Amino acid sequence: MTDSTNTRELILGILTEVNEEGRYSHLVIRSVLEKYQYLTKQERAFITRVSEGTIQRRIELDYIIDCFSKVKGNKMKPLIRNLLRMSVYQIKYMDAVPNSAVCNEAVKLARKKGFSGLSGFVNGVLRGISRGLSEITYPDPEQFPVEALSVRYSMPEWIVEQWIRDYGEARTEQMLSASLEQAPITVRTNLARITPQELKERLAGEGVTVEELDSEAFPELFYAFAISGIDHLNGLESFRQGLFYIQDISSMMAAEYAAPKEGDCCIDVCAAPGGKSILLAEKMKETGCVEARDLTEYKVSLIEENISRCGLSNIRAVQQDATVFDEGSVGKADVLMADLPCSGLGTLRKKTDVKYRMSEAGQEELIALQRSILDTVYSYVKPGGTLLYSTCTVHRGENEENVRWFVKEHPEFKVEYQRQIFPGEHMGDGFFIAKLIRQR
């Protein structure tokens, strides 16, 4: 597929599925790239960059479009709205693509999709934007601080307000900036099969760029690297052989703080896709047992696929609803991992549409679910055992306030460690970790 219009047609399809049909961006993009594996590396990179960037910057792009169009974006036909968004993203953020080419390709695509009557409108809006982009007046940060940050960083205003209230303006702007950065791909060595140095050499031999982590910031993660320069993972023999596992740094740290001992019984109540569970199993060196649980057959199949690839014998996947009490697990776990469903606001670099899906009401529902699960599973922990509670979000209600509630309800647990990791801090996602020890 060398016709640029066809490549852009795939992007338009991705945006339609995500913005109009409510599908998850990372899943839709992955599905398209898997379906069209014959595309060149450059074409695949273009599809990924424009799709993710357009979704990520949607609020700003809509603001720009509304500055130049008499018909506001929310009144446009969905296909035309998404076509303009992806085109404005290229004009503003991709210098390698000539503005004239962006306009011409958008007009051709509008006609191909049956909107010949609107091709002149598309052309007029995009030509106006390409000429007047530098003259756009953005909201005044002094007069309208929340709106200004919302437009500049394409973040819904309610999240900006919440973060300012909870963490202050300086930290909020750092998080907003980090949410638009390119997330590094971090991997950890399967220590049961290969040493970190041998993996580094294998990856380099496969044409992958390997960067070691800051040893002062992450002394525990001697087995982890940041990698780049890959097209798709399944093209790497080292990945197919299970020599490494893709995992965010913050997620690795959660398993590190859980600190299982050889021979321990570990239960992970919301385990999919299984990264933390597998790391626990690796840390126990083929001893003990890890039970990786999740709600649906599909999620359990993801865990099983990763267990199989990594080749571990001391871990099994089980379909189990974490909100349903399991009598057989009471007093069984030396380590209980509770990485619970959350608002996901720490993962915005990778899951670019999460910020548009979530709401304050949605957060309240999640807090209730998190408390319900904690109230159900806490008794699985042995006296002296560890409950590791974690989320991939930045929200006091789901994090610190949940821990405060839990120890009030269950005073037999004591907080040993608690930390909010902010987005972009030390390369990782935003993440919350609380380690609680059962005293009796």
CB 405 within 8 A of CB 371: yes
- Taking only Cα atoms into account, the Rg of the chain, rounded to an integer number of angstroms, comes to 24
Q: Which of 103, 265, 310, 392 is catalytic?
A: 392
Residue 13: what residue type? G
> Is 289 designated active site?
no
In whole angstroms, what is the distance from residue 292 CA to residue 317 CA?
5
Considering Cα of 19, then 25, then 28, then 32, what sign does the dihedral take?
Answer: positive
Both tokens assigned to 155: 């973040």
In whole angstroms, what is the distance from residue 278 CA to residue 316 CA?
10
In whole angstroms, what is the distance from residue 87 CA to residue 373 CA?
44
Active site residues: 392
